[in-house]
Structure 1
Amino acid sequence: MASRVPLQLILNKIKNRSRGSVRCFGTVTEGITSPTASSRHLIGLEHDYSAHNYHPVPVVFSHGKGSAIWDPEGNKYLDFLAAYSAVNQGHCHPKIMKALIDQAQTLTLSSRAFYNDKFPVFAEYLTKLFGYDMVLPMNTGAEGVETALKLARKWGYEKKRIPKDQAIIVSCCGCFHGRTMGAISMSCDNDATRGFWPLLPGQLKVDFGDEAALKKVIIPPDGYLKAILGKALGGNPLASAVGIASLQVIQDEKLAERSAEMGEELRRLLAKTQQQFPEIVLEIRGKGLFNAVELISKSLFPATAYDLCIKLKERGILAKPTHNATIRLTPPLSISLDEIREGAKAFHDVLEHDLPKLVREKPKPASPKAQDTCDRCGRELYG
C-alpha cells in the first residue's frame, strides 16, 4: 500500500486555516473544486462548508470495489464498516450497479401520488422473502424507527384501547436508533440528547436482558402491525429496482450463510487477541459479520477508541468507534477469509505496537474524565 498522509499534518493544516484560505488547498475552477483534489483539500472543504455534526475518521473515499476502498492519492484500505452495513454486498457490486444504471436511465422518481412499475414488484418480492403481509417503504433507518413508533402507538390506541395519551414505548438502556426526535427519545446517548430536551414523553427504559422489567410488556396478538400510515417519497422506482437486485445478490451469493461463517472466524481471531490483552479488551460480541469490540477505557487512557481507529486506518483497515471505548467491525458480507485475517491482525498489531505509544505520548488531562452516566437513568455508559 502507498504511504498515507499523516493525520496530524491534516489536522494542523485545518486548524491553522481561515475560511478564505480554501483555494490554497486544491484546484478550483469557476468556484467548483476539481474532482482530482487531494484528501487534505477535501477534508478542509467539508470542515469549512458542512455542519460539524459528525466526527469522521480522516480518510476520503474516492472509489471502491468489494471490500476495498481507495482514496484520491491511490491508497487502498479494507472497509470494516460497510457504511454501517448499508453495502453488505460490497462496494459497486456489478449486478446492483447494472440495476441502478438501467433504472436511472428510465425513471427515477414518481412519488406515492402515483403508481410506478417497480415498487409493486419490489413489495411482493420483499414481503414473500421475509414472510410479512405488507411493507411500508422508508428512506432511512431513523425514519423507519420513527414510523415504527407511530405504528405501535396507533395500534395501542385503536386495537388495545389504551387510554388517550397513555401509550408507553419500551426501549433498552444503551440503545441507539438514530438522531431524529423520536429516536433520541429512546436513547441513552448523551451526545445525541443533550441540547434537545424536552424529549418525547411516554418512554420506559429497561436493561438489556432484564426479564423482570420486560414483564411490564404485553406480547401483542397476531395482526398488530395492520395500520395505515403515509409516506410521500418512499417506494420510488430507482430504490425499488436497486432493492430487488440487492436482495437477489444476497440470496444468489448466499451472503447470509457466508456472514455466519466469516463472523465466526473473525470473532475467533479477535478472541485470541483478547486473551493476549485481557486488561484492554473487555468483550467481543456479535452475530455474523455485525460485531463490536468493547475496550476498557481506563486501560486506554488517555487514548480512546477513535485513536485506535486512526491507527487501524494507518494500517489499511477502516473501522468506526462508538463512544470512547467500542469499535464496530461490520465489513461487507462478501469479504474474503484473507481480508478477515488481515483486519484481525491489524487490530492485534494496534494493541501490541501502537497503543503503548499512544498512552505514553498523548497529552494527559489533569485528571481522567469521570465515567459518563446517562442523563436520563443514571446508568454508567460506554466502558
Structure 2
Amino acid sequence: MIEDMLRTPAAVRDAERHTAHNYHPLPVVISSAEGAWLTDVDGRRYLDCLAGYSALNFGHRHPTLIRAAHEQLDKLTLTSRAFIHDQFADFCRELAALCGKDLVLPMNTGAEAVETGIKVARKWGYQVKGVAPDQANIVVAEGNFHGRTTTIVSFSTDADARADFGPYTPGFTVVPYGDLAALEAAIDENTVAVLVEPIQGEQGVVVPPAGYLPGVRRVCTERDVLFVADEIQSGLGRTGTTFACEHEGVVPDMYLLGKALGGGIVPVSAVAANADVLGVLRPGQHGSTFGGNPLACAVATEVVRLLASGEFQRRSVELGERLRVGLEGLVGRGVVAVRGRGLWAGLDIDPALMSGRDACERLMERGVLVKDTHGSTIRLAPPLVITEEEIDHVVAQLAAVLAG
C-alpha cells in the first residue's frame, strides 16, 4: 500500500526499518517547508493543516524566528542553569507579562511542563495548603491528553496510551470532561489541583460547555485548589486569543505551555504562575539541563513578542470563522459534526463513508496534510499564517474527498 501511495517508497521503507513503530505516519517524506507549505523529496507541495500539533502556529521558518535562531547560534547555545545567560531574563520577564503571572519556570517539552505542574501542585499542597504527607490528589478529565510519561499515562483514559505501561502512579481522580458537578464532587481535603485542557485537542478538538471553565475557576477558589490549565496545544494564539481560557474570562492559577513557544525551531515549554505557587520550589528540587537554554530563550522571546502584537490572535479569529463556515457547509455531505474554536477544528466523518485515516490519505493525495484521531475524526490546525485562499482550498479538497 505504501508503495502505491508514495513516489519514493524506499525512503519510507528505510525509515520503517530503523525506527521503533510508536507512530503511524502518513507515507510522505518532507524535505523543506515555508510558511504553510511543505515540499516532499520529489518536489511535490502540500498544505500543512496540522502545524506540528500547534508547534508551528507561526508557520514554517518564520523569518523573525529564524533570524533570532541564527543570531543566537553564532553566540551561545547552552550553559545549563548552573549559570545565567543573557537571553534568560528577557524571556522569563516577557513570558510572565504575557501570562499575567509573577514567575516562569522554563522546560523543554509539553510533557515536562505537565510533570512540573504536577510536582509544583503537590508541593504547594503540602507546604501551603497543609495536606498530609503523600496524600495529595489531583482531579483530571476523561479524554485528556497531557503527554506520555509514566505518571501522565497513569491518568489517561486512552487505552493505546495507557495499556501495558503499569504499575501506574497514584494520586489522580478522573471525572467526565465538562461535568462540573462531577468535578466538584471529586474534590476532597487532599485535593491540590484540577488539571484540565480548556479544549481537548487529541480527543478531537472538544470544546467544553459554556460556563464550565468559569465553574472550575469558582470551585477551585472556593475549595482552595489550584486551577492548572494545560494550554500546550490550545494556547499561544491557536484559538483566537492568547490563551483558550480567555474565551470565558478565566485566569487559572498555573499555565502549562509548550508547542508553539518554540516557534517550530526548538522544543520549549514553561510553567507560569504567581510567586505563592511557583515560589515553593527551592534549588535542587526540580530542574533541566536544557530548560531555558540560550537558543531556546532567544527564539521563544521572539515568539512572545509576536503574540504581544495581537496579529496572530486576530488572524485566528478571522480565518477561523472562514474555516468554520466552510466546514459546516459539509455537514450532511459526509461530515457528521464540526467542533472548534479559532483556527482549530475537529471533524467527525461518517464512519460508513471512510475512516479518519482513509480521509487523511486521500487528502494527502490531493496535497493537503491533516491527521486523524479516534476512528473517523480528523483535526485541522493550519499555521496561523495561512491565507483565505488556502483555507478555501482545504475545504474544497475535503469536499472532493467526501464526494468520492
Q: TM-score surpassing 0.5?
A: yes
The separation in 2 between residues aligned to 1:342 and 1:236, in whole angstroms, is 39
What is the deviation of 1:8? Answer: 4.4
Of residues 279, 287, 300, the one that matches 1:226 is: 279
1:354-373 correspondence runs (5 A): none
Backbone CA RMSD of aligned residues:
1.8
Matched, 1:291 2:349: no
Matched, 1:9 2:4: yes
Alignment match, 1:321: 372
The separation in 2 between residues aligned to 1:45 and 1:89, in whole angstroms, is 31
Alignment match, 2:89: 120
Alignment match, 1:31: none
The separation in 1 between residues aligned to 2:162 and 2:293, in whole angstroms, is 32
The separation in 1 between residues aligned to 2:25 and 2:290, in whole angstroms, is 29
What is the deviation of 1:10? Answer: 5.7
Matched, 1:52 2:21: yes
Alignment match, 1:264: 321
Q: Kindly provide the CA deviation profile for residues 80-132 of structure 1, in whole angstroms up to 9, marking residues without a partner as x.
A: 00011111111011111111111011111110111111011111111112211
What is the deviation of 1:310? Answer: 0.3
Pair 296,160 (structure 1): closer, same or farther in 2 beyond 3 Å = farther
Using the TM superposition, name which of 305-314 and 198-207 deviates more: 198-207
The separation in 1 between residues aligned to 2:390 and 2:304, in whole angstroms, is 23
AA aligned opposite 2:280: A
Alignment match, 2:137: 168
What is the deviation of 1:157? Answer: 1.6
The separation in 1 between residues aligned to 2:393 and 2:160, in whole angstroms, is 33
Q: Kindly provide the CA deviation profile for residues 284-304 of structure 1, in whole angstroms up to 9, marking residues without a partner as x.
A: 11111122112343x24xx42
**Higher strand fraction (1 or 2):** 2
1:1-383 correspondence runs (5 A): 7-9=2-4, 39-215=8-184, 216-217=186-187, 219-220=220-221, 223-228=276-281, 229-252=286-309, 254-274=311-331, 276-277=332-333, 280-297=334-351, 299-300=352-353, 303-353=354-404
Equivalent pairs, count: 316
Pair 93,163 (structure 1): closer, same or farther in 2 beyond 3 Å = same
**8 A Cα contact 2:98 2:304, kept in partner:** no
What is the deviation of 1:253? Answer: 6.8
**8 A Cα contact 1:110 1:237, kept in partner:** yes
SS of 1:145 mapped into structure 2? helix
**8 A Cα contact 2:45 2:367, kept in partner:** yes
**8 A Cα contact 2:120 2:277, kept in partner:** no
Q: Kindly provide the CA deviation profile for residues 352-374 of structure 1, in whole angstroms up to 9, marking residues without a partner as x.
A: 11xxxxxxxxxxxxxxxxxxxxx
Using the TM superposition, name which of 288-297 and 149-158 deviates more: 288-297
The separation in 2 between residues aligned to 1:83 and 1:161, in whole angstroms, is 41
What is the deviation of 1:325? Answer: 2.0
**8 A Cα contact 2:2 2:9, kept in partner:** no
Pair 155,340 (structure 1): closer, same or farther in 2 beyond 3 Å = same
AA aligned opposite 1:256: Q
The separation in 1 between residues aligned to 2:337 and 2:303, in whole angstroms, is 32
SS of 2:170 mapped into structure 1? coil
Percent of aligned pairs with the same residue? 43
SS of 2:220 mapped into structure 1? coil
Runs of 5+ in structure 1 lacking a partner? 1-5, 12-37, 354-383
SS of 2:330 mapped into structure 1? helix
AA aligned opposite 2:373: T
Alignment match, 2:216: none
Structure 1 runs (4+) greater than 3 angstroms displaced = 220-226, 250-253
